[in-house]
Structure 1
Amino acid sequence: MSMNELRAMLSKVKPGDYVTAFGKDTRGHEVTREGVLLAEPQDMKATHNGAKVAAVRAFVGAKGADPERRQTWVTLIPDHGFITPAAAPKAGEWIHGEIRNIPAVRSARLDVRSLLLWGGKGGKRSSEPTDGGTLAEITYAGSGRYEVRAVDSGEVLLNGALQSQVWWAHAPEDDEHQDQDEPEQNEGQDDRAKAFEEGRSLGLDHGEALDYAASQVKAKERTSTRTVTEHGQPVYHVRTGELVGYWTPERFTPIEELSN
């Protein structure tokens, strides 16, 4: 396939379209990404068979994902890549598989609101959903765990790892809950994203920075809702979110003193 043929393929898709793209990731490994074309593809040079060749970088991921994230990049090389329109998943069609395969989780973003319809826990013995389709949100909870929480009630429906088997479906685009409590949600997402970047600036790796961000958000939530006890105001560790003591205008009391 020539570069002209590749450009002909690209002319049939535009940002916002649902596509399938095959090419190479940033490590040079073959990769297939299916999702929304997030931005206009860009011309670039890539190494192929030991030589620099003309190529195109496409950005494919979950709706709302940041095209600057490398996890969305696909390098299309004329004789080793393609991009084609694909049928977008229909809302309400049940999918059974690991949490890692939910598009928003694959995007590795902290500030994308990831709505889905929850069908319950899965597994080898699970043949159908056990939940009727509760509108839920999935977020990273720290320590390699992901939390699925009901949008209406705030109930935690699952706290699982990437390999946890679940039933889920895409949420309708025009769902009446899409804009519910949006300002408050965006504030929490911004806090998490800022904490993640702070963690990276401290020299933490990607996983450690995710845990750091989760603990920072939890600490802030506790601070905003905490009440004065007989020992004073609770004080939480800025990195782990754990209770370290109590504060009053007169003194700080370490938790160790109270546990002795």
Structure 2
Amino acid sequence: MHVDLESALAALSVGEHVHAHGADTRGHQVTRAGYLLAAPQRKTGRHDNEAKEGWLVHVGAREDALIKSNRVMLYPGTGHITRTPEPDMSRWRKTPLTETGASARTRNLQIVFGGKALRGAAEPTEETLVDVTYNTEGLYNLSLPDTGGMTHFQCRLGATIWWAPLPTAPSREARA
């Protein structure tokens, strides 16, 4: 696994679009999507309450500075980074869940979920079709369709997320 992470990092160039899965400055697991802003640096960080060697990478929007909110520590065995295509940002929105049309009375709402909009999130980190439902405890379940309601993500109405409306199906006239 150590060799895989090292070879993945060696194959990347600054400016390439990537998804990185690792730890933030507090040690919490994060996924960042965007551009590799600087060459990876070999660093020692805290992981599982001990000092471990890993790689520090900065992932964000093209013009971002190298700041704490776009740092990701990648540790062998748990971190990974991959080159990805650039998303079409014209369809994505970074707003509170309420702007999707969700409310306690909403029924049959489906959206494309792009992930929680963290402070350093320059763009969505996933693209998952979800059903949005109120669960009567003040929380909303974003569930995977056709799984019997298996929750993919749960949040309050004011939580900021990346989301996109479902693509509109072509009308019958346009198909004829």
Runs of 4+ in 1 over 4 A off after TM superposition: 161-168
Query: Structure 1 unaligned runs (5+)?
Result: 101-121, 128-160, 169-260
What does residue range 29-108 of structure 1 map to in structure 2 within 5 Å? Answer: 29-67=28-66, 69-90=67-88, 92=90, 94-98=91-95
Residue in 1 that maps onto 2:169: none
Q: How high is the TM-score relative to the length of structure 2?
A: 0.54
Cα pair distance change 1:99/1:38, threshold 3 Å: farther
Contact 1:34 1:61 in 2 (8 A): yes
CA distance in 2: counterparts of 1:35 and 1:164, whole angstroms: 16
Cα pair distance change 1:79/1:60, threshold 3 Å: same
Higher percent of residues as strand: 2
Q: Which of the pair has more CA radius of gyration?
A: 1
Q: In structure 2, what residue type is equivalent to 1:58? A: V
How far 1:167 sits from its partner (Å)? 7.0
Cα pair distance change 1:50/1:20, threshold 3 Å: same
CA distance in 1: counterparts of 2:54 and 2:41, whole angstroms: 9
Cα pair distance change 1:89/1:29, threshold 3 Å: same
Choose which of 121, 124, 127 in structure 1 pairs with 2:101: 124
CA distance in 1: counterparts of 2:20 and 2:39, whole angstroms: 14
Deviations 1:98-119 (A, max 9, x none): 169xxxxxxxxxxxxxxxxxxx
How far 1:12 sits from its partner (Å)? 2.0
Which secondary structure does the structure 1 equivalent of 2:5 belong to? helix
Indicate the structure whose relative CO is greater, using CA pairs within 8 Å and at least 6 residues apart: 2
How far 1:165 sits from its partner (Å)? 9.0
Q: How high is the TM-score relative to the length of structure 1?
A: 0.38
C-alpha RMSD of the superposition: 3.1
Cα pair distance change 1:91/1:27, threshold 3 Å: closer
How far 1:18 sits from its partner (Å)? 0.4
Contact 2:92 2:162 in 1 (8 A): no
Cα pair distance change 1:81/1:124, threshold 3 Å: same
Contact 1:15 1:38 in 2 (8 A): yes
CA distance in 1: counterparts of 2:55 and 2:162, whole angstroms: 35
Residue in 2 that maps onto 1:208: none
Which secondary structure does the structure 1 equivalent of 2:100 belong to? coil
